[in-house]
Amino acid sequence: MKKKVLVTRKLLRSNEERASKLWDAKLNLNDEVYSQQKIIELSQGCDGILSSLTEKIDEKVINSLPPSVKIISNFAVGFGNIDHQAAKKRNIIVTNTPDVLTDATAEIAMLLILGACRRAKEGMEFARKENWKWSADFLIGKQLTGSRLGILGMGRIGRALAKIAKSFGMEIHYRNRSRLSPEIENGAKFHESIKSLFSVSDVLSICCPATKETKNIVNKETLEYFPTGAIITNVARGDMIEDEAMVEALANRKIYAIGLDVYKGEPKINSGYLNQSTAFILPHLGSATKKTRTAMADLAISNIDEFFNTGKCKNTIN
Ligand code: GLV
């Protein structure tokens, strides 16, 4: 008999076809964002769940899942939406989709840097109206060449961004739990502390996972470490920024501009960002290319398939 898998969000067609070939897949044809209660109800009789970052699968949900559920395969590299420790206690493995979205996300990280530094939001607004005229000082922004890029979290995405940013003539600095080997560092300068990294960051790119340690790491106090007029960008998770402090730093020009793709409590965005001309903001597009989304879902499916066939999976995170 085919295994039964709840697929919580709509996937691209080729991915849904593969899932339906492999399993009795409960697809979400209307792409409704399921409530926690609905996930519990729909998972009855299922052997696994293919979840996505829009669902909060916390301890309460995990403990209410039927005992038949043995795997939660998250359609994302980040897994802050799942209480993986609670899952482990119930013998449920949690998997993610590393590697396949590195380049697409690094591209968006670079877009955020360019958009914030070169005042893309204001430029796009002027271009659509007839109220602009070229002048020597029109929409002057900050040039990347020769400026210092601080990368918080030098994992796959951070390293891919470092490579791109180097080709723009940026000097790379980073903070990571552990220092990288010299070959992987490739000239980037390691910082022992957040204070040390932030104080040299003309531009910061947040690329680290959301954990207890990184929550609100950019806050009222640490914003003071930055050079006046720094640019802060975030392609990882909204949890890392204390929004009220950031809005205030933008208003008082301590921070020149921000570039954000991720937010606390998505899809809501702190209203303080919405009317800031210096906020270049996108709706969580990091991995949004056909190639990458297809590869991510394919990997999330393969993770379940591997687990059903062998009892384990190489992309297990708990
Ligand atoms: C996207 O945000 C992901 O974690 O894959």
| Burial (Cβ within 10 Å: 0-12, 13-18, ≥19) of residue 62 | buried
From 120, 71, 74, select the one nearest 101 (Cα to Cα).
Answer: 74
> Ligand 1, atom 4: nearest CA belongs to which residue?
78
H or E stretch covering 14: helix 13-22
Is the domain of 57 the same as that of 192? no
Question: pTM higher than 0.75 for the full model?
Answer: yes
In a domain, 233, yes or no: yes
Chain segment 108-122, per-residue pLDDT in tens: 999 999 999 999 999
- CA–CA dist 8, 52 (Å, integer): 7
253: left (phi over 0), alpha (psi -120 to 50) or beta: left
Angle made by CA atoms 49, 55, 60, in degrees to the nearest 5? 80
DSSP state of 103: H
Q: Report the pLDDT value the prediction gives residue 275, as an integer from 0 to 100.
A: 86
Q: For residue 250, what are the domain limits?
A: 102-281
Is the domain of 295 the same as that of 275? no
Is the domain of 148 the same as that of 256? yes
Beta carbon of 80 within 6 Å of any ligand 1 atom: no
List the beta bridge partners of residue 25: 5
Beta carbon of 78 within 6 Å of any ligand 1 atom: yes
Residue with tokens 């339906």: 20
In a domain, 318, yes or no: no
199: tokens are: 């104080």
Is the domain of 82 the same as that of 131? no
Is the domain of 160 the same as that of 174? yes
The amino acid sitting at 85 is Q
Is the domain of 62 the same as that of 116? no
In a domain, 317, yes or no: no
Is the domain of 84 the same as that of 119? no
Query: How remote is the CA of residue 291 from the centroid of ligand 1, in Å?
Result: 15
List of the chain residues with pLDDT < 50: none
- CA–CA dist 71, 98 (Å, integer): 17
Check which CATH number belongs to the domain holding 259 and give it.
3.40.50.720
Q: Tell how strand 279-281 and strand 189-190 pair up.
A: unpaired
Total domain count, the chain: 2
List the beta bridge partners of residue 234: 206, 260
- Strand ranges across the sheet with 148-152: 189-190, 171-175, 148-152, 203-206, 230-234, 255-260, 279-281
Beta carbon of 105 within 6 Å of any ligand 1 atom: no
H or E stretch covering 6: strand 4-7
202: tokens are: 């003309």
Is the domain of 141 the same as that of 92? no
Is the domain of 74 the same as that of 208? no
Query: How remote is the CA of residue 78 from the centroid of ligand 1, in Å?
Result: 5
Is the domain of 135 the same as that of 149? yes
In a domain, 220, yes or no: yes
- CA–CA dist 190, 34 (Å, integer): 42
In a domain, 90, yes or no: yes
In a domain, 106, yes or no: yes
List the beta bridge partners of residue 51: 74
Residues marked as catalytic: 237, 266, 284
Q: Report the pLDDT value the prediction gives residue 130, as an integer from 0 to 100.
A: 85
Q: How many CB atoms lie within 10 A of CB 228?
A: 11
Chain segment 210-253, per-residue pLDDT in tens: 999 999 999 999 999 999 999 999 999 999 999 999 999 999 99
Would you mind telling me the total number of residues written for the chain in this entry? 318
Q: Is 233 helix (H, G, I), strand (E, B) or coil?
A: strand
Is the domain of 277 the same as that of 295? no
In a domain, 117, yes or no: yes
Supply φ then ψ for residue 203, to 5 degrees: -135, 135
Is the domain of 42 the same as that of 123? no
Q: Is 174 helix (H, G, I), strand (E, B) or coil?
A: strand
In a domain, 316, yes or no: no
Query: How remote is the CA of residue 20 from the centroid of ligand 1, in Å?
Result: 24
The amino acid sitting at 143 is Q
